[in-house]
């Protein structure tokens, strides 16, 4: 009687087969991009978490606080465009390291600000690094992972934003009542040490290295290519769709901590710093599951179908959240809003990687993502101004409308699931 062959550990089917099928280089690239994005979130969201203290301590209005958030996003848009070109020309890893160093140093500098002008300057410089990290990391992951598992890998990378946001909330909850908002910003220097690990352990993708053997084009080649006739309608649709989602995300997430913390007579819910921190951490749990689930679902059902479903549900849930004023209902609804209102971002890196070729990929991703940031720069001010005039209910309803508009943009964006990178 013949023996039944035994499966080895590496061949035995299981839930982690997709992870084992990647090379060690791909797994290191995913780890580097994920930690970079997590620390980006950690540094950037510290501002949102201390915003209520800044309003009270520095005596600034909601409109001024919104302007500070907006100029950071504008700077991030500029940084994303510049670092996209740098990543295509000089390498994904070099661009990743440079962006992390910039945002870490200037997050810490925010703790030394003595007035609004100084704080605004440091936020602008921080934004340049913040914008550069995503395009570098997304291209690095997309180019090192197998086509059929690209969505999962990018889901893991995107989910690290929620981890960073939750860590920022934890740090703010512990340090803000104890040492104040300046020390919270000082903690933001820690990501700078992460770059030492990346420099020694992570290699450039082979597909990018092969591209460097071809004749070099000028720095504007990538921008010209993504607007040629075959790609122009898709580039415009993707950019406008991302503009709407970023407007909605920043308009909501930058103001949620302040909304939960401000006294009721100033339009907020009146939670303590610890309660606010706990509520935001619970939302990040929903956000993390949203990111990861989108990666797995989009690898099975397609990018387009999942994107539209998440956006429509995010818009509907946002209208409900805008009308809730009971703290326990906000705590219960928050993770669900974060799940659908953020998880779709996993698909953006996959779709853009699968549409654009290697020589212009980071440029295209940087353009589409960061022009969206330019549009989203209006969100903190628009929501803050609306909250000042009409309350947070009407202000958050604006973000729900933006989600619905983003869903309609998919009429012009093709399905890309399973496309090999060119």
CATH number for the domain whose boundaries are 23-412: 1.20.1250.20
Of 139, 98, 141, 129, residue with least CA distance to 222 = 139
CA gap 111, 106 in Å, rounded: 9
- Out of 262-271, 287-296, 298-307, 380-389, which region has the weakest mean confidence (pLDDT)? 262-271
| CA–CA distance, 306 with 138 (Å, rounded to integer) | 19
Output phi, psi for 242, to 5 deg: -70, -30
pTM of the model: 0.74
Give CA torsion, residues 367, 370, 371, 372, to 10 deg. Answer: 130
Residue 51 pLDDT level (bands cut at 50, 70, 90): confident
From CA 160, how far away is CA 34, in angstroms rounded?
Answer: 6
| In contact, 350 and 151? CB cutoff 8 Å | yes
3-state secondary structure 207-238: HHHHHCCCCCCCCCHHHHHHCCCCCHHHHHHH
Rounded to 5°, the CA angle 88-374-414 comes to 65
3-state secondary structure of 13: coil
**Crossing angle, helix 327-342 and helix 150-179, to 10 degrees?**
140
pLDDT band per the 50, 70, 90 thresholds, residue 4: very low
**What local confidence, expressed as pLDDT, does residue 297 receive?**
93
Mean pLDDT, to the nearest integer, of 301-314? 95
CA–CA dist 77, 92 (Å, integer)? 18
Report the pLDDT value the prediction gives residue 214, as an integer from 0 to 100.
Answer: 56
Euclidean distance between CA atoms 405 and 422, whole angstroms = 31
In Å, the largest CA–CA distance within the chain is: 85
How sure is the predictor about 11, in pLDDT bands with cuts at 50, 70 and 90? Answer: very low
User: CB neighbours (10 Å) of residue 68?
Assistant: 21
Tens of pLDDT along 79-120?
Answer: 888 888 888 888 888 888 888 889 889 988 988 888 888 888
Q: CA 147 to CA 354: how far, in whole Å?
A: 9
The ranges assigned to domains in the chain are: 23-412
> What's the mean pLDDT in 141-149?
85
The answer on pLDDT for 307 being more than 60 is yes
pLDDT in tens, 211-259: 666 555 655 666 788 888 788 999 999 999 999 999 999 888 878 887 8
pLDDT of residue 372: 82
What is the distance between the alpha carbons of residues 380 and 137, in angstroms, rounded to a whole number? Answer: 26
């Amino acid at each position: 009687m013949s023996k039944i062959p035994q499966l080895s550990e590496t061949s035995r089917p299981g839930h982690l087969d997709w992870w084992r099928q990647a090379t060690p280089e791909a797994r290191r690239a995913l780890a580097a991009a994920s930690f970079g994005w997590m620390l980006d979130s950690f540094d950037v969201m510290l501002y949102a978490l201390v915003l209520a203290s800044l309003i009270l301590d520095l005596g600034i209005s909601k409109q001024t606080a919104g302007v500070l958030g907006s100029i950071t996003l504008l700077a991030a848009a500029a940084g994303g465009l510049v670092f996209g070109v740098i990543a295509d020309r000089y390498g994904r890893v070099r661009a990743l390291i440079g962006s992390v160093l910039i945002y870490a140093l200037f997050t810490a500098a925010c703790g030394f600000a003595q007035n609004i002008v100084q704080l605004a300057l440091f936020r602008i410089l921080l934004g340049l690094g913040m914008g550069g990290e995503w395009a570098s990391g997304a291209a690095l992951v997309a180019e090192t992972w197998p086509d059929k598992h690209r969505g999962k890998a990018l889901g893991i990378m995107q989910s690290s934003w929620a981890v960073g946001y939750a860590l920022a909330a934890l740090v703010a909850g512990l340090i803000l009542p104890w040492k104040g908002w300046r020390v919270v910003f000082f903690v933001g220097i820690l990501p700078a040490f992460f770059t030492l690990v990346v420099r020694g352990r992570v290699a450039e993708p082979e597909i990018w290295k092969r591209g460097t053997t071809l004749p070099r084009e000028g720095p504007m080649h990538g921008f010209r290519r993504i607007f040629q006739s075959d790609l122009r309608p898709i580039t415009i649709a993707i950019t406008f769709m991302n503009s709407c989602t970023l407007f909605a995300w920043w308009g909501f997430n930058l103001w949620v901590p302040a909304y939960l913390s401000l006294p009721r007579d100033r339009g907020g819910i009146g939670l303590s710093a610890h309660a606010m921190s706990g509520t935001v951490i619970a939302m990040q749990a929903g956000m993390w599951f949203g990111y990861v689930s989108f990666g797995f679902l989009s690898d099975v059902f397609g990018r387009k179908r999942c994107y539209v479903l998440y956006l429509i549900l995010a818009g509907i849930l946002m209208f409900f959240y805008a009308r809730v004023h009971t703290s326990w209902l906000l705590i219960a609804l928050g993770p669900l809003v974060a799940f659908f209102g953020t998880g779709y971002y996993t698909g953006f890196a996959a779709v853009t990687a699968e549409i654009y070729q290697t020589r212009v990929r980071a440029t295209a991703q940087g353009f589409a993502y960061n022009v969206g940031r330019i549009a989203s720069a209006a969100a903190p001010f628009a929501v803050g101004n609306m909250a000042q005039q009409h309350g947070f209910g009407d202000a958050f309803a604006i973000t729900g409308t933006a989600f619905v508009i983003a869903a309609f943009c998919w009429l012009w964006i093709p399905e890309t699931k399973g496309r090999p990178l060119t």
